[in-house]
Chains A and B, each alone.
Chain A
Amino acid sequence: SQQGEEDPQALSIQEGENATMNCSYKTSINNLQWYRQNSGRGLVHLILIRSNEREKHSGRLRVTLDTSKKSSSLLITASRAADTASYFCATDAVWGGGADGLTFGKGTHLIIQP
């Protein structure tokens, strides 16, 4: 089942603007990760935030995590045309017990207008 739900499903902004995507999940997690997918093929890992962390930065990316609200946000600053892609959040659930993998949402499709 899909645990992560991204919001919005699609986002179109002008190059140079900031893009914010949100993710909500349902169960307790060990960590939450964000991935990017270009052209419907392999995903690229962007950033991981652990359950005891509240904010993390990597280059133009900023991720926040609110475990009380079971939500996360991904901010991409100073967007570029090359940032056009689908972005997925993925959760590593506490109840997984080692027998399963990350649970992915359906993604946010981001379009950067040049």
Chain B
Amino acid sequence: DAKTTQPTSMDCAEGRAANLPCNHSTISGNEYVYWYRQIHSQGPQYIIHGLKNNETNEMASLIITEDRKSSTLILPHATLRDTAVYYCIAGGVYGGATNKLIFGTGTLLAVQP
């Protein structure tokens, strides 16, 4: 699985968009980009995933560069409840489903009032 690089921490003002970057320059062609978050020692929560195209769901948007070497997770209107550690993971697929995920240390996003 490809290694990812994320900033250790970021701040964001409540109500503003939070843009979390991730580098995955060694990602292979069949590896997806996944984003999870972990709120204060709870189990991680899935946010979004993508392969080549940009993706959007009710939680966030995922922008993947054309060369797939980096991506950005966008939380359009951050709230205090979005304060969490955000993990960017480049992982493979087995049998048509997510297989092993290799978590790094993630980005601690602190949303400020």
Q: Do A and B come from one complex?
A: no
Interface residues of A (CB under 8 A from B): none
Interface residues of B (CB under 8 A from A): none
